[in-house]
Amino acid sequence: MKSRLSKVSRSCAVTLALLATISAAPPAAASLTPSEQAQLRAFVAGGQIQNAPRVRAMAGRTDLTPEEAAQALKDAMAQVPFDDAHVAFVRDVLFGGASAGARPVLVPAVTRALVTRADSVLSKFAGDLDQNPKALDELARIYRFFDAEIAGAGQPKADAHDPQMGIPPASYDECVKALAQHIEQNPRWLKGDVQIPATVVRVRGQLQLAVVRMMNDTLTRRVDAADRLGLTGARRKFLLETGALLIDSGRGDDGRVLRARGLVDRLGLARPQVGLVSAFVFGDDAPRLSARAAVLGVKTPLEGSGAAAPWPFSEEVEPGPADAPTQELARDLGLLAARRALETRPDLRPVAERDLKATAGVPYGKPEGDGTEAGLAAALQLLLTDAPRAMDLAFVRFLANKPESAAVMSDALGVLATFVTPDPDKKTLAITLGKPKGVDGTLAPVELTNVRLAPSGAVTGFTVDGRAWTLARDTGPVTAIRRDTIPLNMSFLGQARVPTLEATSWTVPGLVLARMHGTPKAGLAPGPKVRMVGAGELGYDAIATLAPADNVVVEGDLTVTGQPGGIALRAAGNKDGFRGAALMITPWPSPRIALVLREEDGFESFLAAPRDLSEVGTVHLRLSVKGTKVEAKVGDTVLRGTIPLSFARGDVALFARKGAILDVSGFRVSRQ
């Protein structure tokens, strides 16, 4: 027994010694030799396409672990600038020749190697990356490679990768992990909720797009992507709920993000079933980013530029708030929507082309560029940001015998109808537009229900605010507009200014105005509303209504723009306009309110000291005369004066220099 135990002990000892020897020895061919590593570094540094197969063979060896393959490429690529030549070289390493079998290892290894190169660049310029264009260009090139060449390899469909490319989901998971670690190690420039300089926006944005596109198509894809990117607050919700990225400097607050989100939701261009937009970039109208779908660039930063937004409407409607980022995003979304809709509904294109050509002299909105899509985009900008004014503009032009804008509005609504699905129960269409909710660009929804379409796809009817509107047309112009079967009239339009024309008199129930001097253009509407445009070359144009007595009171809300104009009492026409006691408003260049006396020979004198103002907008006025006493109340300003006995009688006149526009709402003349 003792001899047997001794033999067993000796055998175990020999076995243990052999195992120890084996474990201590380096694994045969399990890593590149120093000579091979040197060769690999030389091939990568040279970046010559003919050496790509050699790099592929060395780094894609089946006896290397993924970590060893990645480390070999990291050592080779960390100090080599990733220029255009190396883009082509690395692309060939991954996808050239007989590379398919090595891709499961090579793709994560190349990703980690390029991440190491990006880490090196960020470390070198940790304090002033935004001031180094070459470093920014190289980082953008690396991140673009991730998106276009790796995540977008082959012909992927929707959010899924192309399975024919031989890159398994596990490899993509490894790539995403490497990119997420890269963001965590460089939060100052790359984390999604950090404020960065404008010059770095496209770099971070390209990395964000690459991460989202690299994700495998799973139920938690958006949540996982938001986590990897470090997105928080409204930007996180934007990605989770629209599927698109909002890319900016991080300075726009959550309110701004929510406003952008409202526009995106209304068109639905980022929805998976539409899939037209991958990202919205603010602060750069030509971001040049690689992505699965379109990247919309908005010139104005999301936080705004500090400058007033260009007013997209004409002076035919009352002014309102306009926010530059919101306006630009609406136009850009409209352009994309128009392109897609005209592809989907080819019958709409010839109709829209004809309608837009008809509005060439007086466009509906302010198109940026020529072409049908640009014209429809300008119309959609109006409808998406201020639908009540947009409709009133089209309708007031129709009343002025200019039906073309109503036709363009009908076509633009048809574009939006392309992206909505009929209610499954009622079988009706609904379109959501927008209107200002405040002065900061916030929009409230405007719902159009029971939307009806012509065979071309243009909208011919809808219900809004409980009122049913009908636009009579087929493929031609709009020939009639009705609200609840009643023909269109000015009383339906709350935001429109009265259309003007040159005439000798203008009438609405309860008010008649007649030309007193010059060649004025004027218009009347129930309310009553009065609009007058000065067009004469000499003196003042003037229109007048008979005074009900010598002592009268005139009230209304008055706006004067362009050149001087106002309202006169005890007025009579003369060779250069009128004589009488006048409240005169000078809106520019030195805004002023004055109470003046104009005599027969045109001589003017102040009845009271004039008041200089910083600006003159819409003012409520009460102008009265009793005997020889005249009083003007303009807002909080009161002016009083005394007129000669010779000015005992006369009419009530509105007057304007050439270029002046007067608008009076609630115009009333009564006895005193």
| Model confidence pLDDT, tens digit, residues 181-238 | 999 999 999 999 899 999 999 999 999 999 999 999 999 999 999 999 999 999 999 9
Q: Which pLDDT tens digit goes with each residue over 622-655?
A: 999 999 999 999 989 999 999 999 999 999 999 9
Domain annotation covers residue 26: no
Q: Is residue 440 part of a domain?
A: yes
Same-domain pairing of 356 and 215: no
Predicted pLDDT of residue 86: 97
What per-residue confidence (pLDDT) applies to 424? 79
pLDDT at 24 exceeding the cut of 50: no
In a domain, 248, yes or no: no
CA dihedral 538, 540, 546, 550 (to 10 degrees): -120
Same domain, 585 and 482: no
> CB neighbours of 240 closer than 8 A, spacing ≥ 6?
222, 223, 226
Q: What pLDDT does 5 receive?
A: 38
pLDDT single digits (tens) 375-417: 999 999 999 999 999 999 999 999 989 999 999 999 999 999 9
Per-residue confidence band for 319, with pLDDT thresholds at 50, 70 and 90 = confident
Does residue 297 fall inside a structural domain?
Answer: no
Beta strand spans in 232-333 (E): 245-247, 277-282, 294-298
Q: Do 425 and 549 reside in the same domain of the chain?
A: no
pLDDT band at 272 (very low <50, low <70, confident <90, very high): low
> Which position has the higher pLDDT, 495 or 408?
408
| pLDDT surpasses 90 at 8 | no
Quickly state the pLDDT bin for 21 (edges 50, 70, 90): very low
User: 277-282 and 294-298 as β-strands: parallel, antiparallel, unpaired?
Assistant: parallel
β-bridge mates for residue 327, sequence order: none
Residues 447 and 552 grouped into a single domain: no
Domain count, the chain: 3
Quote the pLDDT of residue 494.
87
Length of the chain, please?
672
Contact indicator for 165, 103 with CB cutoff of 8 Å? yes
Q: b vs e for 636-660, b when ≥16 Cβ sit within 10 Å of the residue's Cβ?
A: eeebebebeeebeebbbbbbbbbeb
In angstroms, rounded to a whole number, what is the distance separating the alpha carbons of residues 566 and 138? 63
Residue 15 lies in a domain: no
Helix axes 324-344, 372-385, angle to 10 degrees: 130
R_g of the chain computed on alpha carbons: 36
Residues 528 and 387 in one domain: no
Mean pLDDT in residue range 336-352: 94
CA dihedral over 276, 281, 287, 290, signed as positive or negative:
negative
* Other C-beta atoms lying within 10 Å of the C-beta of residue 5: 9
Out of 464, 492, 520, pick the residue that ends a domain: 492
pLDDT-above-90 percentage for the chain: 79
Give yes or no for residue 22 having a pLDDT over 70.
no
Same domain as 620, residue 485: no
Phi, psi of 175 (to 5 degrees): -65, -45
Q: Tell me if 497 sits within 8 A of 665, measured CB to CB.
A: no
Query: Quick one: average pLDDT of 12-32?
Result: 42
Domain holding 625: CATH number? 2.60.120.560
Amino acid at 668: R
Q: Phi first, then psi: what are they for 295, rounded to 5°?
A: -115, 115
Q: Is residue 573 one of the residues assigned to a domain?
A: yes
What is this structure's pTM?
Answer: 0.77
Residue 78: is its pLDDT beyond 70? yes
CA 335 → CA 143, 302, 332, 356, distances in Å? 28, 19, 5, 15
* Cα gap 127→189, rounded to integer Å: 10
Whether residues 487 and 580 fall in one domain: no
In a domain, 642, yes or no: yes
Q: State the pLDDT at residue 491.
A: 86
> Is the model's pLDDT at 15 over the cut of 90?
no
- Which structure tokens are listed for 670? 């009564």
Q: Is residue 28's pLDDT more than 70? A: no
The one-letter amino acid code at 233 reads G
Boundary of a domain, candidates 459, 492, 525:
492
Domain hosting residue 560, numbered range: 501-671
Say if residue 150's pLDDT is above 90: yes
* pLDDT at residue 423 is higher than 90: no
Residue type, 477: P
Q: Does one domain contain both 476 and 517?
A: no
Residues 122 and 77: their CA atoms lie apart, in Å, by 15
Q: Are residues 189 and 132 in the same domain?
A: yes
The label of the residue with tokens 């003042």 reads 540
For residues 202 and 143, membership in a common domain is answered with yes
111 part of a folded domain: yes
Q: Do 523 and 651 have their domain in common?
A: yes
- pLDDT the model gives residue 438: 75
What are the DSSP calls for 506-542, one per residue? EEETTEEEEEEES--EEEEETTTEEEEE---SSS-EE
CA distance 623 to 558: 11
Q: Which has the closest alpha carbon to 559: 497, 619, 624?
A: 619
Mean pLDDT of the chain: 91
Structure confidence at residue 323 (pLDDT): 87
Across residues 159-179, what is the average pLDDT?
Answer: 96
Tell me the Ramachandran region of residue 659: left when phi exceeds 0, alpha when psi lies from -120 to 50, beta otherwise: left
Q: Which of 469, 492, 515 is the last residue of a domain?
A: 492
Contacts of 250 (CB under 8 A, 6+ apart): 193, 194, 195, 196
Residue 16 has pLDDT above 60, yes or no: no
* 330 and 358 assigned to the same domain: yes
